[in-house]
Structure 1
C-alpha cells in the first residue's frame, strides 16, 4: 500500500534510471549494426540485444522527459514491422535534461541496450527496455509524430497475464508475447510507443504524486459510485491504466473516482515501480466531474450498538486534520458508540526519542469531536514498547478505543501493558478478560514489528460485548499485479496468517467459555474478504466478516492502483450474526477522493446485542 514516504516521491520519476544493481544483462556486450527499434524490443519482455552496443537506431522523437531522475526522450520507428508482439518505441535515457532534440525530430541513436528493473530486481517488477549512454544525431526536424495506438475496451484482452515459466521461477520474461490474449502482453508490446485513450473513467483519484488511474473498460466490475472493484485474485481488472503527465504539475487534474477524462489522453507508454504500465501524457483529456459525494451512514437507534473502525493514517498532534477527522466521526459516521482507531501515533509523532504515550494525540481528537457537536468520548488503549509495533519509526502507532460513556461502559481490569498477554476467564458463569484493556499474545513472533491486537470488555444495556481492535501486518514486500513473476508472490501473507490464527484462537477461547458471547473483531486487517487471512479468522465458525452482507460491487474500503478493495473489516461472532437486524456500512469518505484525510474508508456495524 502506498505510504507518505519521500522515497516513493523521489522514485516515481526513476522509471528509467540505470544502475548496476537493477539492470539485467543477458548477453555479453558486443556490436550490432543498424538494428531497428522492433529488433531491440523483440517478442519477449527482455531485449535480445540486452547488454549490446547498437548503432544508428532510427526513430522519430515523440516526447521528452525533462524532470526528475528519469530524463530522456522516446523515439518511435514510423515503419512498423508486421509482428504485433514487437514494440516500435523505446526510451532513450540521457540522465540529464535532453538537449539538441525536439519532438518531431528524425534521429539516429547509438548506445547500449539496457534492461532496467524499477525498484530493483528484488521487487519482482518487470524490466523496461532502454538505450543508455546515447549518442544522438538529428537527421531532420518537423516530422509528423507516429499516430498513437488506441487502447480501448476492444483492444485489451480479458485475461490479465500468462502463468510464468516454472523452469524460470515462474517468470514471464522469457515467454513470447501474446498481445491478443493477455492484457499485460498487450501493454508490453506497446512499451515506449505513442498510445491514446479516450473518454476514460477515473478509478483511482489524483494522489500527491501527480498521478491517477483510469479504466478503458467502463463496465468491468463497476461499483455504483464509479470504482472498479477487486473481488478475487483472478479479477485483476485488465482495463486499468495509470496516467501521469509531461506537463506542469499545476495543470494536472484533481480527479475523484467516477470522474471522466473526456477527449483524448495520449503519450508514450512507460513502466514504473509504483503502477506498472503508465501512460505519460503529452496530451491530457479534460476532466469532467461526476459530482461524487462523501457518504453518511444512518444513526443508530436507541437499542442498537454502533461499532466502527477507522484508520486515521499516522495521526499525531502536529497534523492539521483533527477537525476533519472529528467532523467525519460526528457527521459521516453519526457518532458511533465505540470507535476502534488505527494508526494513532504517540505525542510527538515521528520524533524518535523514546516517547510512547499518546494521551495528547487522543485528547486532541476527542476535543475536536466535542467541538464538532459529538459526544465527550472516553478512551482506552495500551502503550506499545518503543519502536516495536512497526509503522513510521518513532511514531509508535497503536489502536485506541473511543467510547461514548453516556451509552457504553468499559469494564476496567488492571494489569494490561505492552508485554502482558490478555487471557479469558469465567466470572459468574460468563466469559471475562483477565485484563481490560489488554493485548493478545504481544510477545509472540507473529506480532514482531507489527501492531498487537487490543481487546476491551464493554457493557451496553447490561450486555457484555468483547471488542478486538486489529491492525495486521501490511502488504509491504508483496510483488505487484504487474510483476514478472506469475502467479504473484504475496510474502506478507505469512505473518498475517499467523496473526489471524492467534486472534481466531482467542475468540474461540471466549466462545468456549461462553457459547453465546458477543465478540466483534475489527480493524485494518490489511487483507481481502476473500483472502486466506479472512478464512483463518472465520475458521470453525468463530467469526464472520460482515462486509459479505453487501453486494459484491459495494465491498471496498481502499483504492490501490485503480482497484477498489477490502482492507478494513468488521467480523462478528455467531450470536451477533444471527441477529436479523445487523447492518454493516462501508462509509466512503476518503479512498475515492483526491483530498482525502486518510487513505482508508471507515466501517460501521449496527446491531442489537
Structure 2
C-alpha cells in the first residue's frame, strides 16, 4: 500500500485543522493526443511563493528527470495553479495558469519539489510501469485527489497504487480542472509586453538567458528579441527541420558553462545563410523538450560572413545536463570518437558515437562488481537532420550507405564538428563539416589467423535459418525468412560465411528443427554449401531421431569430408534442463584424416536472458547483477553438461573435448565459470582477453558465443578468432526485405558473409598430433559399420542420455571434485 490505513485515517481526522503551508497535486489529466494538465492546490493556511517549486517528469523508468516545469507566482491558501501541455486543447489551456513540458504517459513518474525537497509525487521513480489499481489508472484517465488527502506523497521511490489517493474519471474529463474542494484558482500572471524590435546592435535578450541552466527554458511563452549568428541552416530540402540554428557572438557569452549559447529557430519564410548575423523577434517555446524560438514576428539580417568559436566538447558526460548545456550550439570534439550503434542507421539516418567501445559489465567483471555504463551519458547521436524514414540516400558513411560501403562499429571519426540538437528523446550532433572516417575496424574476408594450425573448429549462430517446407512453400516461417526470396538471400549469405570461414568442423545454432531428410534445412544448407565450395561437406545426423528436442530451433554440426571423419556415435540429451528453454546439446567425435588425431565437439545453445516472469524460481529471476533472467537454469545446464560428458558418450575414449556454442552468458558470468572451475580453458579469455565480442546489445559489446577446451586440447590450440562479420555491421545489410524500396532491397544486399547473422562466429585453430585412432579412416568397427555417409552424415543410432563411464576423463573427474569444493555464486 502507498499509505497505511492508519495514516489515511489520521489524515482525514486532521484535514480541517491542517496548518502546514505546502501544496499537493490535486488533479492529473492524461487525455487524448496532447491533452495533459496537472493541477496544484495549496492545502495549507499560508501563502506560498511558487518560484522555488518545480514539477519533474521521470520517463520510462529513468532515475533522472527528463522534463521539468517551473511554477511561478504566489498561491494563497486554497489557491489553485494549473499547468497544461503547450499543445493541449483550447479548453484546457483556457483553464491553465501556464504551459510547460508535460510530456508524460501513464508510465512516467511525476515529482513535485520545493528546491531539493520532495513535496508530492505520482508513480514510482526508476520503474517503467503503467500504474493502475482498482480501476484507477495513470494512463488515459483524469484523476482527482481524494478530499481526505491534504499532504503530499513525499516518497517517490515506493510502490505506487493510484487508487489509494485518487479517484478516476473518464479520459479528457476536465469538468473540475481549475477547482478543488469547491475552491477556485488564481489569476494567471500578466504576460510581459512584447519588447520593441529595435535596430541591429540594440540591446537584446541573450540566448543564455533563454536557455537557462535547466532542461527547459525559464521564460517559456515569452516574446523576446535576440541577435546572434547563424551556425547551421536546415530551412529547405526533403523533410528537413524547417529552421536554423543561432549562436551568440563570442563576446556575448555569459561565462556560465551550464547555460547554452545556441538555439533553434523554427522559421522558413525568411532565407538565411550560415554566417549571417540575424536580429529576430519571436516566442520562446519547448517542443518535446527542445528549447526553440517560433512564431517569428520580425527578422532582419545585420551582417554576413560572421563566425563563432565552436564549444569544446567531450564524451562521456557526467549528467544529461551537460548535453543540455550545449543544446543548439556549435561544438567540436577534443578527441576522436568511435561508431558504437548503427541499429537505426538505415531507418532514421542516425548512429551513436562514443569515446571508446562500451562493454557489458559481466563481460569484463564478475557479476555485480561493475555497474552498467549509462549508455545515454556516453553516447551522442550523429543525425542527418531529416525527418525521413528509410531514405534511399543515407549519407553515412562518406559516399552513402550500401552493402559494399558499410559503417562498421569501431570506425573512428576524427574530432567531429556540428550543432547539438534534441529530438525524439536523444541529443544529436548535426555535422556542419564532412566527417573524417578512419577505418580502424575493417572488414576481413576470412578469419584473421595468426596460426591456422592443422584443424579448425567453429561455432556459428545463424539467426533462425528456416526453409519453409523445403519445397518452396511454407512461408512465412515460424522464425526467420518471411518469403522464399528472403530465404534464398539469407541462405546465400550464410553459405558465403561458411565457405569463407576456413573451418573443418562447424557447430551451428538456431537451425530449424525439422529433421534430416532431403527437405530439411540442414540438408539443403549443406547442399547449397557444396554447390559453391571447393570441398565436400556433410552434416551430422542422429540415427532414427527425426528431431532434436521440441524447440523450433536446434543445434547442428557440419564438416569437411576431405579433412575429417566421424568416428563416434552422434548423441544428444534432453534431460533437464535441456527439455525446455535450453536446446539439447549435441556431441560427436571426429578425427582429422592427416594426423588421425581425435577431438569430441559439443555444440550448445543455453536458455536466453529474457522473459522471466513472476513464476520463475528465485535464482531464475533477474537479480540485477547483470546476468539477466534464467541464470540458475544456465548454471544448471553447464553442470549437467559436464556430468553428461563424464562418460564416453560418443563411444570413443577421447580426452580432447571442445565445448562450443551460444551460451547466452557473457564472459565472466556464472554458467561459464562452471566450465573454468572444472578445469576447462576459456579460449577467448585466455587468448583474446576480456574485451572480446561476438554480439552487440543496446550499445554494449560482449561475447555470448564461446569455446572451452579440455586440458589436453588446450595445449594444442594455437589461435582463436572472433570473426567480426556481423555484430559490427548495420542490421539493414541483412537479408530482410521489409521496409525497403526496390532500390534499397538491391543496394543493401550482397551475397557475402557480412551481416549474415547477428552473432559473430568463433573459430578455433588446433595443431593436431600424429597418432592412430584404429578406426580405419572413419569406419570404426567398434562404433559403426558404414562409416561416414556424406552428405547426410552417419546413420548410427542416437544414444540419447549416454551414461557409459568406462573411460571417465581424468581432467573431468578432477574438475568435478573442484566444482564440489568451490561454493558457486547463487
**2 CA distance for matches of 1:498 and 1:37?**
55
Q: Where does residue 602 of structure 1 map in the other structure?
A: 761
CA contact (8 A) 1:72 1:98 kept: yes
**2 CA distance for matches of 1:509 and 1:346?**
25
Aligned-residue offset at 1:326: 1.8
Residues 18 and 521 (structure 1), Cα distance of their counterparts in 2 relative to 1, 3 Å cut: farther
Q: Where does residue 497 of structure 1 map in the other structure?
A: 631
Residues 455 and 519 (structure 1), Cα distance of their counterparts in 2 relative to 1, 3 Å cut: farther
Residues 516 and 362 (structure 1), Cα distance of their counterparts in 2 relative to 1, 3 Å cut: closer
Aligned-residue offset at 1:307: 3.4
**2 CA distance for matches of 1:408 and 1:55?**
81
Instruction: Choose which of 326, 346, 359 in structure 2 pairs with 1:208.
Output: 346
Instruction: Choose which of 441, 455, 470 in structure 1 pairs with 2:578.
Output: 441
Q: Helix, strand or coil: the match of 1:597?
A: coil
Aligned-residue offset at 1:366: 1.9
Question: Are 2:516 and 1:338 aligned?
Answer: no
Residues 508 and 524 (structure 1), Cα distance of their counterparts in 2 relative to 1, 3 Å cut: closer
Aligned-residue offset at 1:110: 1.8
Question: Are 2:64 and 1:64 aligned?
Answer: no
Residues 371 and 193 (structure 1), Cα distance of their counterparts in 2 relative to 1, 3 Å cut: same
Q: Quick check: which has more Rg, 1 or 2?
A: 2
**2 CA distance for matches of 1:70 and 1:544?**
54
Q: Helix, strand or coil: the match of 2:565?
A: coil
Question: Are 2:575 and 1:422 aligned?
Answer: yes
**2 CA distance for matches of 1:278 and 1:588?**
28
**1 CA distance for matches of 2:223 and 2:719?**
67
Q: Where does residue 365 of structure 1 map in the other structure?
A: 525
Q: Where does residue 281 of structure 2 map in the other structure?
A: 108
**1 CA distance for matches of 2:639 and 2:761?**
26
Could you report, residue by residue, the CA deviation over 1:447-468 in whole angstroms, capped at 9, with x for unpaired residues? 4xxxx33311211239673524
**2 CA distance for matches of 1:38 and 1:308?**
56
Instruction: Choose which of 545, 558, 566 in structure 2 pairs with 1:408.
Output: 566
Aligned-residue offset at 1:600: 3.2
Q: Where does residue 227 of structure 1 map in the other structure?
A: none
Q: Helix, strand or coil: the match of 1:555?
A: coil
Residues 214 and 18 (structure 1), Cα distance of their counterparts in 2 relative to 1, 3 Å cut: farther
Q: Where does residue 436 of structure 1 map in the other structure?
A: none
CA contact (8 A) 2:695 2:702 kept: yes
Aligned-residue offset at 1:585: 1.5
**1 CA distance for matches of 2:690 and 2:571?**
42
**2 CA distance for matches of 1:90 and 1:384?**
60
TM-score normalised by structure 2 residue count: 0.48
Question: Are 2:431 and 1:285 aligned?
Answer: no
Aligned-residue offset at 1:71: 4.3
Q: Where does residue 693 of structure 2 map in the other structure?
A: 556
Q: Where does residue 619 of structure 2 map in the other structure?
A: none
**2 CA distance for matches of 1:269 and 1:282?**
12
Aligned-residue offset at 1:190: 1.7
Give the length in aligned residue pairs.
Answer: 478
Q: Helix, strand or coil: the match of 2:717?
A: coil
CA contact (8 A) 1:40 1:47 kept: no
Instruction: Choose which of 717, 723, 733 in structure 2 pairs with 1:581.
Output: 717
Question: Are 2:475 and 1:323 aligned?
Answer: no
CA contact (8 A) 1:453 1:470 kept: yes
Aligned-residue offset at 1:57: 6.7
CA contact (8 A) 2:610 2:628 kept: no
Residues 453 and 108 (structure 1), Cα distance of their counterparts in 2 relative to 1, 3 Å cut: farther
**2 CA distance for matches of 1:146 and 1:496?**
57
**2 CA distance for matches of 1:70 and 1:527?**
43
Alignment of 1:203-352 (within 5 A): 203-204=339-340, 207-209=345-347, 210-212=349-351, 241-246=380-385, 249=393, 251-252=395-396, 253=398, 254=405, 255-256=407-408, 265-270=417-422, 276-285=426-435, 287=437, 292-294=442-444, 295-297=446-448, 304=455, 306-312=457-463, 316=481, 317=484, 318-319=486-487, 320-331=489-500, 333-342=501-510, 344=511
TM-score normalised by structure 1 residue count: 0.62
Aligned-residue offset at 1:194: 1.9
Aligned CA-pair RMSD:
5.0
CA contact (8 A) 2:462 2:494 kept: no
Q: Helix, strand or coil: the match of 2:629?
A: helix
Q: Where does residue 484 of structure 1 map in the other structure?
A: none
Residues 511 and 384 (structure 1), Cα distance of their counterparts in 2 relative to 1, 3 Å cut: closer
